[in-house]
Amino acid sequence: MDGSAGRDIRADYEETVARLRKTFHSGKTRSFAWRRQQLEALGNAVATNEARIKEALKADLGKPDLEAAVAEVDYLTKECALAARKCESWSKPRGVGTPLSLMPSRSQMVPEPLGVALIIGAWNYPLQEVFGPLAGAIAAGNCAVLKPSELAPHASELLREIAAQVLDSDAFATVLGGAEETSALLEQRFDKIFYTGGARVGRIVMEAASKHLTPVTLELGGKSPAVVAADADLEVTARRIAWAAFMNGGQLCVRPDHCLIEESVYEPFLETLEKTVREFYGEDMKASPDFARIVNERHFDRLVGLIGDSKVLIGGEHDRSEKFLAPTVLRDVSPDAPSMQEEIFGPILPCLKVASIDEAISFINKRDKPLALYAFTKSSDVSDRILNETSSGTLMINDAVMFQANHHLPFGGVGESGMGAFHGQHTFDCFSHLKAVMKRPFFGDVSLRYPPYSERAAKL
C-alpha cells in the first residue's frame, strides 16, 4: 500500500488491519513451521538482495558498503536465523516457583502472541529498524503492519518489495508514507506498537496508543556522553570514539554525542583524536569512500547551525549540494553551546573539559537519561562509580556501539531515551504477553478458606 492522495487511506488501513486480525485469529501464525518458514524466507531475501540494499542505502545516505553489509544485511540475517532456530524454545512455558502454602500447584509464565503489531521505523538504518523488530514479532506469532521511514525512500521501497515477495500477505502489510499516513495508521487499534525515531513523534505515538491502551516500545535517541578518564588508553579510546561518532555520517542513535574529558588528559586526548580522524578519513575527507552523507537538506542546515561559532579542532568543511559535512571535532565547548542543546545525530563531536569524574557524573545527571553512556578508564572504581551513580539505557566500558552486536543484551532506553527493549529473545518477549498460569489438582482441598468465616473467626 502507498499513501497516495485521492482515496480514503483510513478505510484502506482499517481493512488491512481487519484482514491481518482475521489471519491472527485463524491460528495460522501459531504454527512454528509457518514462523520458521517466514523467518528463513526473510533472512534469505535480505542476503540475496545484498547488492540492491547497498545500492539503496548509498542513494539515500551515501552509506559505505561495509557499514551496510554489517549493520543491515549481516545483522538482519543473523536475527532472522536466531529467531527461526529459537522461536519454539522461546515459546515454551517458563516455570516459576510456588509458595508452600499454595501446594500442590504448578506455576508458569506462558508466552502468547499479542496479535497485530505496528512497526514504525526511522531513516538511519531503514531496513534494520523495521525487519529487526519484525523478526521477533514473527517468532512470537504475530501479524504486523510495517511503516518504514519516508526519509529513506530507496530503502523503504526495497523493503516493501522484499516484504511483498517473501512474506505471507495474509499476515503482513507495508505502508509507505510520512506523517499523514502514520497518523492515519495510529488511529487503528493495534495490539502492539514498536516505534523507532525521535522523542517528539514518540510522544505522538504514545498518545495515540493510549486511546486503545495499546502497549508501546519506544526506541528513541538522546545525547549519549563518552567519559574519558585520566587513566584511559588514549590511542584506543580515540579510535573507538571516532569510529562510533562518525559511522553512518554520525547518524546513529547510540553514537557518542559528546566527550567529557578529564582535565589532565584533555590536550593529549584532543591531539590523538585529531590524528585519528585524519588517519581514518584522509586530508580530503570529502573523497573518503568510508564516510556517509547527511540524509537531507533540512538536517544538513540544522547540523551546520549546531557548529555555530564553536572552536573547530578538525573538520567543519561542508557542501550543501552534496549534503557533505566533514567529521568535525569541536573543542572547549561550553554546556550552553548550540551543539549541547539537542541530540546532534550527525558528524559533529563536541569535547568538554571536566575537572574530575565527580564533575562528569554530575554533568550527566543534570541532563536527560541517555540511550548509551560510554566510560573509558582502566580503573574499576571509576567504572563502578559511573555504573552506580548514573542512569542510561546501556553502559559500555572502554568501547562504543559494539554492545549492539550482542543479542543477549536488551537494547533500549530509559526516561527520555525510550521504553522497552529488543534484540534476540528480548524482541520475542516484547511482542509477547507472558500469561501467568497456575494449575492445581482437585485433591488437597482445604475447607478453612470457605465461608462461613464467622465460625472460624470465633475459634481464633
Catalytic positions, written as ranges: 219, 253
348-354 and 256-262: which strand pairing? parallel
Q: Which residues lie below 8 Å from residue 348, measured CB to CB, with a gap of 6+? A: 250, 303, 306, 307, 315, 325, 328, 330, 339
Please tell me whether residue 225 binds ligand NAD under the rule CB under 6 A.
no
Residue 441 is which amino acid?
P
Please tell me whether residue 223 binds ligand NAD under the rule CB under 6 A.
no
CB atoms within 10 A of CB 448: 6
Exposure string over 399-417, b if 16+ CB within 10 A, otherwise e:
bbbebbeebeebbbbbbbb
Indicate the angle between helix axes 266-281 and 234-246, nearest 10 degrees. Answer: 50
| Among residues 69, 204, 304, 387, the one that binds ligand NAD under rule CB under 6 A | 204
Please tell me whether residue 124 binds ligand NAD under the rule CB under 6 A.
yes
Q: Give me the least distance between CB of 446 and ligand NAD, in Å please.
A: 51
Question: How far is residue 329's CA from residue 230's CA, in Å, rounded to a whole number?
Answer: 20
Give the DSSP per-residue string, 46-98. HHHTHHHHHHHHHHHH---HHHHIIIIIIHHHHHHHHHHHHHHHHTS-EEE--
Q: Are the CB atoms for 306 and 257 separated by under 8 Å?
A: no
Please tell me whether residue 256 binds ligand NAD under the rule CB under 6 A.
no
Q: Give me the least distance between CB of 208 and ligand NAD, in Å please.
A: 8
Q: Give me the least distance between CB of 341 and ligand NAD, in Å please.
A: 14
Q: Are the CB atoms for 361 and 386 separated by under 8 Å?
A: yes
Q: Give me the least distance between CB of 250 and ligand NAD, in Å please.
A: 11
| Among residues 43, 62, 111, 197, the one that binds ligand NAD under rule CB under 6 A | 197
Question: How far is residue 116's CA from residue 189's CA, in Å, rounded to a whole number?
Answer: 9
Please tell me whether residue 178 binds ligand NAD under the rule CB under 6 A.
yes
Nine cell digits for residue 411: 537494547
Q: Across-strand partners of 141?
A: none
Q: Give me the least distance between CB of 187 and ligand NAD, in Å please.
A: 11
Question: How far is residue 20's CA from residue 167's CA, in Å, rounded to a whole number?
Answer: 13
| Among residues 343, 360, 382, 431, the one that binds ligand NAD under rule CB under 6 A | 343
| Among residues 37, 44, 107, 183, the one that binds ligand NAD under rule CB under 6 A | 183
Please tell me whether residue 298 binds ligand NAD under the rule CB under 6 A.
no
Q: Residue 247: which of 420, 57, 51, 53 has the closest Cα?
A: 57
Based on CB atoms, which residue is closest to ligand NAD, 190 or 266? Answer: 190
Q: Residue 423: which of 83, 33, 34 has the closest Cα?
A: 83
Based on CB atoms, which residue is closest to ligand NAD, 138 or 254? Answer: 254
Q: Give me the least distance between CB of 407 and ligand NAD, in Å please.
A: 14
Please tell me whether residue 176 binds ligand NAD under the rule CB under 6 A.
no
Q: Give me the least distance between CB of 196 and ligand NAD, in Å please.
A: 5
Based on CB atoms, which residue is closest to ligand NAD, 190 or 269? Answer: 190
Of 387-446, binders to ligand NAD (CB under 6 A) are 418
Based on CB atoms, which residue is closest to ligand NAD, 191 or 257? Answer: 257
Please tell me whether residue 150 binds ligand NAD under the rule CB under 6 A.
yes
Nine cell digits for residue 415: 526516561
Based on CB atoms, which residue is closest to ligand NAD, 123 or 324? Answer: 123
| Among residues 70, 96, 164, 179, the one that binds ligand NAD under rule CB under 6 A | 179
Of 47-106, binders to ligand NAD (CB under 6 A) are none
Question: How far is residue 312's CA from residue 315's CA, in Å, rounded to a whole number?
Answer: 7
Please tell me whether residue 262 binds ligand NAD under the rule CB under 6 A.
no
Please tell me whether residue 132 binds ligand NAD under the rule CB under 6 A.
no
Binding site for ligand NAD (CB under 6 A): 120-124, 129, 147, 149-151, 178-179, 182-183, 196-198, 201, 204, 219-221, 253, 343, 345, 371, 418
